[in-house]
Amino acid sequence: MAKRWQNDLGAADITTEAVFMNRRAVLAGMAAGAAVGLTGTAAQAADAGAPNDWDDITSYCNYYEFGTGKDDPKKYAHTLTTTPWSIKIDGLVDRPGTYDLGQILDKMTIEQRIYRFRCVEAWSMVVPWDGFELADLLQMAGVKSDAKYVAFETVARREEMPGLRYPVLDWPYVEGLRLDEAMHPLTLMATGIYGKPMPNQNGAPIRLVVPWKYGFKSIKSIVRITLTDRQPPTAWNKANGREYGFYSNVNPTVDHPRWSQATERKLGGGLFSRRQPTLMFNGYDKEVSKLYAGMDLRKFY
């Protein structure tokens, strides 16, 4: 299968692995620098960041199944068993069943798996995800003509995920996309990052990546995908529908009820980097705006 989308980002655009994985330290350094007025070599050192190994730099994640603290996923996600792994695909599909992740990857063509090395820009970063298009997996299962939405579900193992003991959200974590969003070539099933297998705290062994939407749409550790003709519930929309709509597209013209989304700061851009305008659909306006033609994006947020 030929590549269906090609970006113009190169190696020079990629956010460094240390900056991406060690976001907490970078953001803390920015805040501290602003407080004490770092200048000269001190500011340059804060910009550069200290060298970190893989264990050190995977330390800033939201994965409430392991706790609500930013360090909790790193501390506790090692308990999650990720091999073997399978995904139940059901609902309005021609070939429902339980699909082994290894077999899914084996059935992908070389072209499909080479395609995984592209970079996508997300959350003021440029991240090299490793994976394949969700569309390829859905086509493997066979989408029925009356399917309109795709629902996702995260694994929920109380014996391995201590955060499930607390009713922070209505477990298990669920997400959803409209079918045309799911079939878009930018929508990825990610299995790794920076050329390495996906760390547990980042959603191992397989997670969703939808680069024109906010990060909470990128459901982690997926165990079930359901094709349906009805809009499925999503975890954060159930928890607070006023703040988290079903679509969750990056739209700088619509403020979050508690803060503005009009500007952002590029991660790794430096201690004193200026805020920049947030781009519509996270910079993918040309690629995805046609999906929402005629929709009121203030109402469908």
Q: Is 247 part of a structural domain of the chain? A: no
Q: Is 140 part of a structural domain of the chain? A: yes
Q: Is 300 part of a structural domain of the chain? A: no
Neighbour-count burial of 241, counting CB atoms closer than 10 A to its CB (0-12 exposed, 13-18 middle, 19+ buried):
exposed
User: What was the pLDDT predicted at 149?
Assistant: 99
Between 167 and 275, where is the model more confident? 167
User: What was the pLDDT predicted at 50?
Assistant: 45
Q: Say if residue 32's pLDDT is above 50.
A: no
User: What was the pLDDT predicted at 119?
Assistant: 53
Q: Say if residue 36's pLDDT is above 60.
A: no
- Residue among 94, 234, 133 nearest 177 (CA): 234
Farthest CA pair distance, the chain: 63
Is the alpha carbon torsion for 19, 4, 279, 217 positive or negative? Answer: negative
Q: Is 102 part of a structural domain of the chain? A: yes
Q: Cα–Cα distance between 113 and 298 in angstroms, integer?
A: 37
Q: Is 92 part of a structural domain of the chain? A: yes
Q: Is 246 part of a structural domain of the chain? A: no
Q: Cα–Cα distance between 188 and 197 in angstroms, integer?
A: 15
Q: Mean of the per-residue pLDDT values for the chain?
A: 82
Q: Is 180 part of a structural domain of the chain? A: yes
Q: Are 238 and 171 in contact (CB under 8 A)?
A: no
User: What was the pLDDT predicted at 35?
Assistant: 37
Q: Which of 18-22, 157-161, 241-245, 250-254 has the lowest mean pLDDT?
A: 18-22
Q: Are 129 and 207 in contact (CB under 8 A)?
A: no
Q: Is 103 part of a structural domain of the chain? A: yes
User: pTM to 2 decimals?
Assistant: 0.84
Instruction: Count structural domains, the chain.
Output: 1
Q: Confidence class of residue 30 from pLDDT cuts 50, 70 and 90?
A: very low
Q: Say if residue 45's pLDDT is above 70.
A: no
Q: Say if residue 220's pLDDT is above 70.
A: yes
CATH number at residue 92: 3.90.420.10
Task: Convert the pLDDT of each residue in 276-294 to its tens digit.
Answer: 888 899 889 999 999 999 9
Would you give the end-to-end CA distance of the chain in angstroms?
33
User: What was the pLDDT predicted at 261?
Assistant: 86
Q: Are 233 and 172 in contact (CB under 8 A)?
A: no
Q: Say if residue 201's pLDDT is above 60.
A: yes
User: What was the pLDDT predicted at 23?
Assistant: 62
Q: In one letter, which amino acid is 51?
A: P
- The range of the structural domain enclosing residue 94 comes to 81-240+281-292
Q: For residues 58-71, give the mean pLDDT.
A: 86
Contacts with 140 (C-beta within 8 Å, 6 or more apart), sequence order:
95, 99, 104, 107
Residue with tokens 């005629």: 294
